[in-house]
Amino acid sequence: MLNLSQAVNRALRHGLESDPKVMVMGQDVGRSGGVFRVTDGLQKDFGADRVIDTPLAEAGIVGTAIGLAMRGYRPVCEIQFDGFVYPAFSQITSQLAKLHARSGGRITVPVVIRIPVSGGIGAVEHHSESNEAYFAHTAGLRVMCAATPQDAHWMLRQAIAGDDPVVFFEPKCRYWSKGEVAESADDPLVLPADAARTVREGSDVTLLTWGSMVETCLSAAAVAAEEGRSIGVIDLRSLSPIDTDTLVDAVRCTGRAVVVHEAPTFGGLGGEVAALLSERCFTSLEAPVLRVGGFNVPYPAARLEEHYRPDLDRVLDAVDRVLDF
């Protein structure tokens, strides 16, 4: 059993051991092991030239990683908190995402950008953003979000080994959650990084979610089961590209869908998922696709975040509404 932060650490360790071109870089990732201790022990074991404490300069971290990747390295950057990524936004969207296409496929930039994401830890401003939609909207990036230790470990290993740039989200409120992690890539539980996972089967309603909300949706499904309702849960895992076929197959079976994410629903990725399902499942739907998410306001102070983040009651209310339609 590993918790999610340990699973990430093990994946980083595997990358560093397997390929001398893999590097880890970011603020406080080396000597202190990161603010969440995700990189604990890596600099001690692999040296300060491969696990690099950078200045507090996100644009510089990502820009340097791009240059290293163009020279054959495989940098794994850590952005310390989700709200700190914005100074690097131009480097990510204008350079990292575009270089492969700009060069006619001649240049690959295998950079992984790890970002602890979302709320639930009582943090201060700029430490609890859910900003996946910005990056999913940017062609040329793969965007992943791991909700379990199993996925954190194996999806990160796949991201590091691949040649595409990846924004890799880790829901920080789940860092201490424990779970089994497969020992071998041949284990049937190890899915391709761009595949959605059916976490729970259901015949009445399908909940589509990712990251910090997977556990909330599973709790909602368990409560609904006590009331005689069968609720399925799909974890998207890959936010760009989206595993459309898995989502469509599930929703065609139930005829009802609710998309749940922590980001505000306005302009959120749930709108894209809802539109996709409306286009592909129109004749199968028994009700409109509903969305549950954060409110369209800046993330509140810690004492109010439990009222902002989607919870069991809000998910179950959406389930009631979609069933009553």
Give the residue among 24, 23, 30 at the shortest CA–CA distance from 73.
23
**β-strands 2-3, 178-179: how paired?**
antiparallel
- Residues 76 and 111: their CA atoms lie apart, in Å, by 6
Query: Is 127 part of the annotated catalytic residue set?
Result: yes
The active-site residue out of 14, 100, 127, 153 is 127
- Residues 225 and 70: their CA atoms lie apart, in Å, by 52
* 72 DSSP 8-state letter: T
Give the residue among 67, 8, 62 at the shortest CA–CA distance from 34.
8
Give the residue among 206, 291, 287 at the shortest CA–CA distance from 253.
206
Q: Which residues are catalytic?
A: 127
